[in-house]
Amino acid sequence: MAAPLASLEGACNNLAGKLKSVPAGECKSAGLNVAGSASVQGQPILWRDYRSVKSKTPAKRVLLVGGIHGDELSSVAVTFEWMRRLSDQEKQPFYWRVVPCLNPDGVLAKVSKRVNANGVDLNRNFPTPDWNSKATLYWNNKTKSDPRRYPGKRAGSEPETRWLIDQIKSFKPDAIVSIHAPYGVLDFDGPRTPPQRLGFLNLNELGTYPGSLGNYAGEFLGIPIITLELPHSEASPTVAQSGRIWNDLLKWLERNLPQGAPPLFQRLSDPNWLRNAP
Ligand SMILES: [Zn+2]
C-alpha cells in the first residue's frame, strides 16, 4: 500500500472544502491520526480512538465508519458530529475506533462519487466467501453492470478495503456501525436482535450483497453490524435528530454488548483462523 501523500492538515483542508459542517480547524484539532496506508490517489485515511474513562473491565469495542461511499457526504458529517459527542461524553462505556471517511478519493472528486478512484464500490469489495462465485455475476446480471456498483477485479483489491479489513482484524470490534445514505432506514447483519429503531430511522433489513461490509463482518465474521442509511446524501440530519440516533445507538450497544461478557466472536480471537481468513 502506498503511504499517504497529504498531511493531516492537507486532508482536513480538502475535507472542509467539501463539507460545510466540518471546519478545517476542527478537523485538524480532532485528534485524528493519518493511517499508514492511503487511498488510491494517496489521500490519507483518518482515524482515531476514544476510550471510556468509566470502564473497569476491558471495554467492548465499536468500530464506526463513515464515507465508504464518497457521494454520501452526510455520512461523513454525522461521523464528525458523533466525534464531538465522544469528546464530550468521556463516561460513555465503549472503546471506539472512528473512521470518518474511508473513501476520501470519492468524497474529494470534483463531483463526489460513490466509488473510489479505481471506480470500485468499496462496499462490494470485501472478501466474503461468496465473492468469487457471485460478485461479478451479481454485478453483470442484477445491476446491469452499473458502474456505481462495480465490485472490483478481485475481492479486497482496493487499498481502502484492505486497510479496513486490517482494522477489523487488529481492533477486533464487538460491533460495527457503518453510516450511509439516502434510504432513511437502518439495516442490520450478524448475531444479536437488531434495534427496531434508532432515532427516526426504522429497521428495514435490506439483505446483503456479495462483497458488502454487512455480509463480510456480519454474516462471515459474526460481528453485529448496524448500517445506518441517512435520508439524504448531502443534507445531514439536524444535530437534535442525529443526537437521538446516537442516544438510541448507545442504549442498544449497552444492552447487547454487556461489559464483562466473554467475546462473542471466537473466530477473531483465533490466530489460526485470522491468518487464513480472506
Ligand atoms: Zn452507501
Residue 208 pLDDT: 86
On whether residue 235 sits in a domain, the answer given is yes
Residue 205 pLDDT: 87
* Ligand 1 centroid, distance to 69 Cα (angstroms): 5
Q: For the domain that residue 81 is a member of, what is the CATH number?
A: 3.40.630.10
- What is the pTM (predicted TM-score) of this model? 0.94
pLDDT (tens digit per residue) in 169-198: 999 999 999 999 999 999 999 988 999 999
Q: Bigger pLDDT: 272 or 153? A: 153
CB burial string 118-129: b at 16+ within 10 A, e below: bebbbbbbbbbe
On whether residue 3 sits in a domain, the answer given is no
- 235-241: long-range contacts (C-beta < 8 A, 24 or more apart)? 235/74, 236/21, 236/74, 236/77, 236/78, 236/81, 237/74, 237/78, 237/199, 237/200, 239/81, 241/199, 241/200
* Ligand 1 centroid, distance to 58 Cα (angstroms): 32
Residue with cell 428495514: 204
Please determine, for residue 266, whether its predicted confidence score (pLDDT) is greater than 60. no
Grid cell for residue 144:
446491469
| Averaged pLDDT score across all residues of the chain | 92
* Ligand 1 centroid, distance to 68 Cα (angstroms): 7
Q: What percent of the chain has pLDDT over 90?
A: 83
Residue 6 pLDDT: 78
Secondary element (H or E) of residue 177: strand 175-180
* Ligand 1 centroid, distance to 181 Cα (angstroms): 5
* Ligand 1 centroid, distance to 91 Cα (angstroms): 31
Cβ(124)–Cβ(139) under 8 Å? yes
* Ligand 1 centroid, distance to 38 Cα (angstroms): 20
On whether residue 13 sits in a domain, the answer given is yes
Domain limits at 156? 8-276
CB burial string 6-45: b at 16+ within 10 A, e below: bebeebbebbbebbeebebeebbebebebbebbbbbebbb
Number of structural domains the chain divides into = 1
* Ligand 1 centroid, distance to 227 Cα (angstroms): 9
198-222: average pLDDT: 94
* Ligand 1 centroid, distance to 103 Cα (angstroms): 11
199-203: average pLDDT: 98
Residue 126 pLDDT: 97
Q: What percent of the chain has pLDDT over 70?
A: 92
* Ligand 1 centroid, distance to 53 Cα (angstroms): 33
* Ligand 1 centroid, distance to 271 Cα (angstroms): 32
* Ligand 1 centroid, distance to 259 Cα (angstroms): 31
**Beta carbons within 8 Å of 278's beta carbon, 6+ residues apart:** 127, 129, 131, 155, 156
* Ligand 1 centroid, distance to 180 Cα (angstroms): 4
pLDDT (tens digit per residue) in 87-136: 999 889 999 999 999 999 999 999 999 999 999 999 999 999 999 999 99
CA-CA distance, 225 to 214, in Å (whole number)? 6
Residue 264 pLDDT: 62
Please determine, for residue 1, whether its predicted confidence score (pLDDT) is greater than 60. no
* Ligand 1 centroid, distance to 239 Cα (angstroms): 21
pLDDT (tens digit per residue) in 17-61: 999 999 999 999 999 999 988 999 999 999 999 998 876 778 999
On whether residue 201 sits in a domain, the answer given is yes
* Ligand 1 centroid, distance to 262 Cα (angstroms): 32
